[in-house]
Amino acid sequence: MRAPTHDALALPGTGQPLGWGRIVSDRTCPMCAAIRRVNLSLIPEPGIPMPKTPALISALLMVAALGPAQAANGWDESVAGDLSNFGTVPTAITLGLGANLIAGTTGRVAGAVDRDYFTFTLPAGMQLESLTVLPGSTFLGQSELSFIGVQAGTQVTVSPTGGSAAGLLGWWHFGVNDVGTDILGLIGTGFGATGFNAPLQAGSYAFWVQDTGTGTAQYRLEFGVSAVPEPAAALLLLAGLAGLACQARVRRR
C-alpha cells in the first residue's frame, strides 16, 4: 500500500482537470496491465471545478469497486463456536463482497455425527461466484470424502439419513483432490438434486456440511461473493478507469 499522496485527476480522454484525489493503493490497469495508482476519493481544490460528468462519476465508481476487499465475514468454528447440527435451524451467517472463510469440523465421535448447517442471504446485486476448498481441509473414512449440500431458502429440510437428494439445489462429495478447486459448479451437478449453474444469484441459501467417517475432519471453504455487473454500467466504468489510467501514464512521462 502506497502512502497517501495527492494527484490530479483528469477527465478521461481529454486531460481536462477535474480535481484532486487521495491516492491510497496500487491496482493493475485492466487495459494496459500496468500498475496504476488509483484514487478512492476526490477532494475539492480551489480553482479546479469538479463537474459531475458521467465520466467522473463512472471513474469514481470504478475505482471504488477496485478498492480493498471488505473484512471477511463468514464463520470460523474455532472462534465463533460450533455451527448448528440441525438443518431446520441453521446458523445464520453473513457473507460480504470478496472472500469469506467458513471453517469448522465435522465427523463422527462416539457414534454421533457432527453435522454443520448454516444459512445466508445474498442481497440484490450480489452473487456467490465460487466455493473453493482451501488447504488445511482433511477427510475421513476409506473414501476420504466429505459431503456438502445446498438447499434454496433458509433451511435444509432434506433428511441427512434419507438417502435422497430430492429437495436439494445441489450437493457434492469433496476430498483432497478438490483442495484449491472451486467446486460450486460441481455442487450444481449433484445427482438427484434440482441442479444449478454457478454463480448462485441473490437469495437465501442453506448449506450442509458433513463427514460421516469416524474421527474429526476439518473443512476450510472460501465462499467468493462478487457484485453482479450491469452490462451498460460496466462498460461506462471501464471507459472511465481506462481514461484515468492512461492520463496518469501520460502525465508521468
C-alpha cell at 134: 482451501
Decide whether 222 or 243 has the Cβ nearer to Ca ion. 222
Report, in Å, the least distance between residue 169 CB and Ca ion: 22
Decide whether 26 or 82 has the Cβ nearer to Ca ion. 82
Q: Which residues pair with 107 in a beta bridge?
A: 114, 216
Q: Which of positions 158-177 make contact with Ca ion (CB under 5 A)?
A: none
Q: Which of positions 99-128 make contact with Ca ion (CB under 5 A)?
A: 104-105, 114, 116
Secondary structure element (H or E) that encloses residue 216, with its range: strand 215-227
Report, in Å, the least distance between residue 83 CB and Ca ion: 5
Q: Report whether 72 contacts 99 (CB < 8 A).
A: yes
Decide whether 112 or 166 has the Cβ nearer to Ca ion. 112
* 124: three-class secondary structure by DSSP: coil
- Residue window 56-85: x/- pattern of binding to Ca ion, with contact defined by CB under 5 A: --------------------------x---
Report, in Å, the least distance between residue 110 CB and Ca ion: 14
Q: CB within 8 A of 122, min separation 6: which ones?
A: 95, 128, 200, 201, 202, 203, 204, 205, 225
The Cα–Cα gap between 146 and 166 comes to 19
Report, in Å, the least distance between residue 219 CB and Ca ion: 9
Residues that bind Ca ion (CB under 5 A): 82, 104-105, 114, 116
